[in-house]
Amino acid sequence: MLPDLRTAIATVCLSGTLDDKLAAAAAAGFDGVELFENDLLADRRGPAEIRERCAGLGLTIDLYQPLRDFEAVPPDVLARNLRRAEHKFDVMAELGVQTVLVCSSVSPDAINDDDLAAEQLHLLASRAAERGLRIAYEALAWGRFVNGYEHAWRIVRRAGHPALGVCLDSFHILSKEDDPRAIRAIPGEKIFFLQLADAPVLPMDVLQWSRHHRLFPGQGDFDLTTFTRNVLDAGYRGPLSLEVFNDVFRQADPYRAAVDARRSLLALQDSLGLLDVPAAPRATGYAFAELVGGPDLASLGFSRTGVHRSKPVELWTQGDARVLVNAEGEPGEIGALGIAVPDPAAAAQRAKVLLAPPLSRTAGPGEAPLTAIAAPDGTHVFLCADDDWLGDFVPTGESAPGAGITGIDHVALTQPFDNFDEATLFYRSVLGLEPGATAEFAAPFGLVRGRGVSGGVRLTLDAALVRRGGWAPAVPSPQHIAFTCTDAVSCAEALRQSGARLVEIPGNYYDDLAARTDLPAERVAALRARSVLYDRDEHGEYLHFYTELAGARVFFEVVQRIGGYSGFGVVNAPVRMAAHHEARRGR
């Protein structure tokens, strides 16, 4: 087992003043910070006062950054650079920080000469060593001549100074698809610092990608577990530090963002076997979904089969689908999810370690001791081992004929845009659900981003990228529960007969469906007659239809999966959203 590693976060990751950032980092449990120079320059306190503030918060300053465009330059430029470096060394001495980051040059003054770069970095390291300081040289992915970590290491090795080492940044390495295995050839004592960032894979200029779209580990597409393992195998024992440039994070609540950041490092340590925490639970399905308010479940074929012994909550069932209706709270929203897991106590312990502590809950005499945790959007997630919780409900003896619904397929929760990536990390790290690909589509009133997470249960997370002004007639933060059935066409017909208000899909959709697929005409006609939408992939088919709103922002979907289809019919979302708007306007 490797020793415990300290954690740090760059102040550039968070919003607010420097004091806001430091307080948030300390509150989230970080051990140290990388102090970004701009944060120092904008602060009224001197470096020594900032050092005292950090110490009072229990934080160390692990890196001062950055020193740019230093190496491989003509003599006159070198003289200016050394004067600038000496000033930074003075600041570092007052801050009490030992290591400064030197980024590979992007300057037009730079010369493509590794020997010259090594010579000048050796000189810089000699000046630093006189003050007990170190230089961490980092290859920027867009560096003019040095843009790969192996190249940076060759220069450091050629310079041959004990106060000169490399800084490895996961973004600069993985964005260029450089092989991280060669990191193991770098002596651990020459890796002076490690910076971690995730990111979605985007086909764009690497500088813009880096400056605006980095994410915390576990939120993007990079394999940071393998990357970090290579660094640790090389012998690195410094802090695991986050350097994430992200437009959203730098406008978000710094305390919330810092907790999200710390959770990402805890999850990364767990993936490396460095965290003493129970394994992620393996969900076995939905125990229930809870609605606040009184949607018309009877028209969907549900039976009111139980009343809670001590709370204003009713149990409605159909097949294996169980829906709780809670009379307390804001009507018309999803208040809680019950997820079946083998060991709720272990799952709750994992949630606590990953900074999602259990919610307090009052249970009456003889009632099931359920444990709940809070998701980022406020949804309560109950961890259920079995069906003992059903004993909390007094049977009513009521029954309904049903309409063909058999269970819960997935639940869709709209997230505030600023917390979309946080929600992905929460469900991935705390509950062990695996994120699918992120999709974006043009909805009637703006661009929408969506991502499914699954593993025993399915969830979809959605967010409106921009919502500005009063011209947003869509339902704010819509949510829905998707039920399963074995025959979507017959189920839709049965629900219409029972009085359920189903969304009408325009005929243009079915004209296009007939033109772009090889579906038989009679099958398209059956879908058209019941407003059932259709999607397929190489694994199977997906038939689904929707109800109108059943509350302030809740509606229902009924789905039929055929074969190995595992998606959510995202291609049909704009059509459904427009149909929902028409239904609301018509009423």
Q: What angle do CA 166, 11, 461 make, to 5 degrees?
A: 105
Task: Quickly tell me which residue has 């028209």 as its tokens.
Answer: 299
Over range 25-32, report the average pLDDT. 98
CA distances (Å), 567 to each of 416, 427, 446, 543, in order?
A: 22, 18, 22, 11
Q: Tell me the pLDDT tens digit for each residue of 180-190.
A: 999 999 999 99
CA distance 481 to 525: 27
Q: Evaluate whether the domain defined by 285-395 bears CATH number 3.10.180.10.
A: yes
Under 8 Å between Cβ of 485 and 491: yes
Q: Is 34 annotated as a binding residue?
A: no
Helix H or strand E segment including 27? helix 18-28
Q: Please name the fold of domain 405-586.
A: 2,3-Dihydroxybiphenyl 1,2-Dioxygenase; domain 1 (3.10.180)
What is residue 233's predicted lDDT score, i.e. its pLDDT? 97
Give me the helices (H) in 407-555, please: 420-429, 488-497, 507-516, 521-530
* 569 contacts 533 by C-beta, under 8 angstroms: yes
Number of neighbouring beta carbons within 10 Å of residue 74 = 11
Q: List strands edge to edge, sheet with 405-414.
A: 434-443, 446-454, 458-464, 405-414, 479-485, 554-563, 540-546, 533-536
In the chain, what are the domain boundaries? 7-271, 285-395, 405-586
Confirm whether residue 539 is marked as ligand binding: no
Question: Is 480 annotated in some ligand binding site?
Answer: yes
Tell me if 7-271 shares its fold with 405-586.
no
Q: What is the pLDDT of residues 447-499, one digit of tens each?
A: 889 999 999 999 999 987 765 445 455 566 889 999 999 999 999 999 999 99
Q: Mapping DSSP to helix (H, G, I), strand (E, B) and coil, where does residue 234 land?
A: coil
CATH topology for the 7-271 domain: TIM Barrel (3.20.20)
- Per-residue pLDDT tens over the stretch 112-171: 999 999 999 999 999 999 999 999 999 999 999 999 999 999 999 999 999 999 999 999
Q: What is the pLDDT of residues 256-295, one digit of tens each?
A: 999 999 999 999 999 999 999 999 999 999 999 999 987 7
Whether residue 504 is annotated as binding a ligand: the answer is no
User: Helix, strand or coil for residue 572?
Assistant: helix
* Strand-pair partners of 98: none
pTM of structure: 0.94
Peptide bond into 520 cis (omega under 30): no
Residue 160 tokens, joined: 């041959």
- Residues in contact with 121: Cβ distance below 8 Å, sequence separation at least 6, in sequence order: 70, 71, 102, 135, 137, 155, 156, 159, 161, 164
| 415 annotated as belonging to a binding site for a ligand | no
Give me the numbers of helices (H) and strands (E) for the chain, helices first please: 16, 25
pLDDT in tens, 419-457: 899 999 999 999 999 999 998 888 887 788 999 999 999
243 is in an annotated binding site: yes
Q: Per residue in 544-582, pLDDT tens? A: 999 998 877 899 999 999 999 999 999 999 999 888 888
Are 580 and 548 in contact, with CB atoms under 8 Å apart?
Answer: yes
Question: Which contacts (CB < 8 Å, 24+ apart) does range 444-452 have?
Answer: 444/474, 444/574, 444/577, 444/578, 444/581, 445/471, 445/472, 445/473, 445/474, 445/577, 445/581, 446/472, 446/474, 448/573, 449/417, 449/420, 450/568, 450/570, 450/573, 451/420, 451/424, 452/410, 452/567, 452/568
What is d(CA 329, CA 336) in angstroms, rounded to the nearest whole number?
12
pLDDT over 70 at 11, yes or no: yes
Q: Is 410 labelled a binding residue?
A: yes
Helices 114-129 and 75-95: crossing angle in degrees, nearest 10, is 30
